[in-house]
Amino acid sequence: MILARVRGNVVSTNKAEKLLGLKLLIVNPIDIETFTEKGAPLVAIDTVGAGEGEVVMCVGGSSSRQTALTDGKPSDLAIIAIIDSVELRGKLVFRKFEDGDDGKRTAKTPAEPNTAK
């Protein structure tokens, strides 16, 4: 499994019949240690209704064909979860929501990719 950030979508009017009706998103893998994007963008089948900027969990290979939406489909990468928070070695490295002054949770603004090399 990998964590990734959704960065866009793919539209295809002509595709294999088994891909009809499936939402395709572009994701950038995330380095869990630094929580920055790393590597090349990938195309994944969205099985959970993710949106641009969200941090998601992806599975690849035969695992990507183990959901109700992807069973029997030509998939090599599938989004299987939208991440709310990540804790690593006792430290919170990512949280999707901030607690507001009124006690309600509000969505944080998605972080921009780290382009430093």
Report all structural domains of the chain as residue ranges with CATH numbers, in order of start: 2-85 (2.40.50.220)
Total-model pTM: 0.81
Burial track 18-45 (b if 16+ CB lie within 10 A, e otherwise):
eeeebbbbbbbbbeeeebebeeeebebb
Please tell me which residue, 68 or 53, carries the higher pLDDT value: 53
Q: Look at residue 111 and tell me whether its pLDDT is greater than 60.
A: no
How high is the mean pLDDT of the chain? 86
Q: How many CB atoms lie within 10 A of CB 79?
A: 26
Q: Are strands 23-31 and 42-46 parallel, antiparallel or unpaired?
A: antiparallel
- Cα distances (Å, whole numbers) of residue 33 to 28, 37, 96, 107, 109: 15, 11, 17, 23, 21
Q: What percent of the chain has pLDDT over 70?
A: 84
Query: Which pLDDT score is estimated for 16?
Result: 93
pLDDT top residue among 116 and 27: 27
| Confidence band, pLDDT 50/70/90 cuts, at residue 106 | low
pLDDT number for residue 71: 87
**pLDDT attached to residue 60:** 93
Once rounded to an integer, what is the mean pLDDT over residues 76-103? 86
Q: From the centroid of its chain, how far is CA 55?
A: 5
